[in-house]
């Protein structure tokens, strides 16, 4: 059994380990004729890249992507997709396996070390191997291609909570997301988060976060009933991201506290002759099918497991021992998960757009 692929018609398969020579992905099913150069993808990878502020790991991963297949010059000389498999590759250039030599027999709490070893009886101990979030770089690369399959959809992500500190949603401003190192839509929270994370890092600890991803411009009708629900696929896609422990669509868990009057999104006719929903508790999806409203997904990322504070664990011989991360650590991996969440939204929507078109002959 192998589970390294996502999607039906827009199908992404990733490969590679944290400390192997390279990581990559194959995208099968991308339609032909879409202009695509490496820079289109690089722009999104640069948002995920570590070492961009003191709040993310200082590992040097330039993450320069190459397109190995699936593109060619069209009649106008532009490089476009050919409809054949796209293969994207990133060389791993900052792998220092020796950093992990003294913990190779120990299981890092909160990591996949124990479960991989128990399941496969062999584990690549270098940086988590296949379980490493290094893999998420390829999700971001594939997400950049997926966005081009659904160009009328705008997909944006933001960090809405770090530890107990939430943004004030009344101050939400998308234009602010690029102006701070946290992807925060509320500029007033930035100082609070910065000092909280400085405290966390100095004390050798870490903290979790909540990310919200919103897709605007998807028409009504994408998705499918029963076992192909759009919200089901989005939840699975977000949950597949490393360290994600909770996913919500629309009102999510808070729907349990609402009444039917408050939760049901009433409908009127808009001046443009199209239905207008008065609220969006459903997160833009009803019966597994998009309503045409913004599609809203939130996910919770757990605190970084690799921390300076020693933690109790065992080794593969059954001995009780302790483990601590040396050097710099990432006090909140949720920050770098924002572009990853956007990418998963794009991959799922591209797949559902193609599935919708396959069944009904049009995208809208
Ligand atoms: C973008 C990103 C970067 C991550 N970087 C780290 C890290 O530097 N240290 C760490 O302990 N966990 C990190 N994680 C989380 C681990 O990869 C994850 O917790 C681990 O593989 C176990 O998987 P699980 O938490 O999904 O069960 C990161 C997660 C994401 C999304």
**Cα–Cα separations (whole angstroms), residue 146 to 25, 140, 142, 351:** 13, 10, 6, 8
Mean pLDDT value across residues 173-187: 97
Distance from the alpha carbon of residue 167 to the mean position of ligand 1, in angstroms: 23
Q: How confident is the model at residue 55 (pLDDT cuts 50, 70, 90)?
A: confident
Mean pLDDT value across residues 17-37: 97
pLDDT tens-digit series, residues 128-145: 999 999 999 999 999 999
Q: Decide whether any atom of ligand 1 lies within 6 Å of the 336 Cβ.
A: yes
> In the predicted model, is pLDDT for residue 59 greater than 70?
no
* Alpha carbon distance 282, 294 (integer Å): 10
pLDDT tens-digit series, residues 231-247: 999 999 999 999 999 99
Q: How confident is the model at residue 281 (pLDDT cuts 50, 70, 90)?
A: very high
Q: Decide whether any atom of ligand 1 lies within 6 Å of the 18 Cβ.
A: no
Residues in CB range of 35: below 8 A, 6 or more apart: 78, 79, 80, 148
Provide the pLDDT for residue 1.
59
Distance from the alpha carbon of residue 112 to the mean position of ligand 1, in angstroms: 9
Q: Which of 360, 225, 222 is nearest to 291 (CA)?
A: 222
How much of the chain exceeds pLDDT 70, in percent? 96
Q: How confident is the model at residue 306 (pLDDT cuts 50, 70, 90)?
A: very high
Q: Decide whether any atom of ligand 1 lies within 6 Å of the 112 Cβ.
A: yes
Look at 108 and 50; give whichever has higher pLDDT.
Answer: 108
* Alpha carbon distance 216, 264 (integer Å): 20
Distance from the alpha carbon of residue 332 to the mean position of ligand 1, in angstroms: 10
Mean pLDDT value across residues 194-200: 96
Element (H, E) at 5: strand 5-6
**Cα–Cα separations (whole angstroms), residue 223 to 10, 145, 250, 286, 324:** 14, 20, 16, 9, 45
pLDDT tens-digit series, residues 249-270: 999 999 999 999 999 999 999 9
Provide the pLDDT for residue 147.
98
Q: How confident is the model at residue 98 (pLDDT cuts 50, 70, 90)?
A: low
How much of the chain exceeds pLDDT 90, in percent? 89
**Cα–Cα separations (whole angstroms), residue 252 to 33, 172, 222, 299, 314:** 38, 19, 20, 10, 37
Name the token pair of 91: 């060389």
Distance from the alpha carbon of residue 242 to the mean position of ligand 1, in angstroms: 5
* Alpha carbon distance 214, 227 (integer Å): 23
Provide the pLDDT for residue 288.
98
Distance from the alpha carbon of residue 85 to the mean position of ligand 1, in angstroms: 29
The structure's pTM equals 0.97
Dihedral through CA 134, CA 86, CA 4, CA 19, nearest 10?
Answer: -30
Q: Which atom of ligand 1 is least distant from the CA of 112?
A: 22
Q: Decide whether any atom of ligand 1 lies within 6 Å of the 206 Cβ.
A: no
Q: Which atom of ligand 1 is least distant from the CA of 307?
A: 11
Q: Decide whether any atom of ligand 1 lies within 6 Å of the 330 Cβ.
A: yes
What mean pLDDT, rounded, does the chain reach? 95
Provide the pLDDT for residue 48.
82
Distance from the alpha carbon of residue 326 to the mean position of ligand 1, in angstroms: 16
* Alpha carbon distance 81, 305 (integer Å): 40
Q: Decide whether any atom of ligand 1 lies within 6 Å of the 241 Cβ.
A: yes
String of DSSP letters for 75-130: TTS-EEE-SSPEEEEEE-----GGGGGGGTTBPPTTSSHHHHHHHHS----STTGG
Mean pLDDT value across residues 4-28: 97
Q: Decide whether any atom of ligand 1 lies within 6 Å of the 136 Cβ.
A: yes
Among 129, 242, 341, the mutation site with the greatest number of ligand 1 atoms within 8 A of its Cβ is 242
Among 117, 304, 307, 327, the mutation site with the greatest number of ligand 1 atoms within 8 A of its Cβ is 304
> In the predicted model, is pLDDT for residue 60 greater than 70?
no
Element (H, E) at 340: helix 337-360
String of DSSP letters for 6-34: E-SSSEEEEEE-TTSSEEEEEEE-PPTT-
Provide the pLDDT for residue 270.
95
String of DSSP letters for 126-157: STTGGGSGGGHHHHHHHHHHHHHHSTT-EEEE
Long-range Cβ contact pairs of 262-269 (< 8 A, separation 24 or more): 265/291, 265/293
Mean pLDDT value across residues 340-344: 98
Q: Decide whether any atom of ligand 1 lies within 6 Å of the 133 Cβ.
A: yes
> In the predicted model, is pLDDT for residue 119 greater than 80?
yes
Residues in CB range of 2: below 8 A, 6 or more apart: none
Lowest-pLDDT choice from 59-68, 154-163, 186-195, 254-263: 59-68
């Amino acid at each position: 059994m192998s589970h390294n692929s996502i999607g039906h018609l827009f199908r992404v398969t990733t490969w590679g380990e944290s400390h192997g020579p390279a990581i990559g992905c194959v995208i099968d099913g991308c339609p032909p004729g879409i202009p695509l150069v490496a820079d289109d993808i690089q722009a999104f990878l640069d948002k995920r890249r570590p070492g961009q502020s003191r709040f993310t790991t200082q590992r040097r991963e330039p993450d320069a992507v190459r397109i190995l297949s699936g593109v060619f010059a069209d009649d106008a000389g532009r490089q476009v997709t050919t409809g054949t498999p796209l293969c994207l590759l990133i060389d791993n250039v900052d792998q220092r396996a020796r950093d992990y030599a003294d913990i190779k027999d120990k299981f890092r709490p909160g990591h996949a070390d124990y479960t991989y070893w128990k399941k496969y009886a062999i584990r690549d101990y270098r940086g988590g191997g296949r379980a490493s979030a290094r893999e998420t770089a390829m999700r971001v690369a594939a997400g950049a291609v997926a966005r081009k399959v659904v160009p009328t959809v705008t997909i944006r992500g933001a960090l809405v909570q770090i530890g107990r500190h939430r943004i004030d949603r009344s101050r939400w401003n998308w234009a602010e997301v690029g102006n701070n190192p946290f992807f925060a839509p509320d500029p007033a929270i930035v100082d609070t988060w910065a000092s909280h994370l400085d405290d966390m890092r100095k004390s050798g600890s870490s903290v979790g976060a909540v990310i919200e991803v919103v897709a605007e411009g998807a028409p009504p009708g994408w998705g499918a009933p029963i076992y192909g629900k759009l919200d089901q696929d989005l939840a699975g896609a977000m949950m597949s991201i490393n360290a994600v422990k909770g996913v919500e669509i629309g009102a999510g868990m808070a729907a349990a506290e609402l009444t039917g009057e408050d939760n049901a999104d009433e409908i009127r006719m808009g001046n443009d002759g199209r239905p207008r929903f008065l609220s969006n508790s459903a997160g833009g999806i009803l019966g597994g099918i998009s309503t045409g409203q913004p599609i809203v997904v939130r996910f919770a990322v757990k605190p970084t497991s690799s921390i300076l504070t020693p933690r109790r664990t065992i080794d593969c011989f059954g001995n009780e021992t302790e483990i601590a991360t040396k050097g710099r650590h990432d006090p909140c991996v949720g920050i770098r998960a924002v572009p990853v969440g956007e990418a998963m939204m794009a991959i799922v929507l591209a797949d559902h757009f193609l599935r919708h078109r396959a069944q009904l002959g049009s995208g809208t």
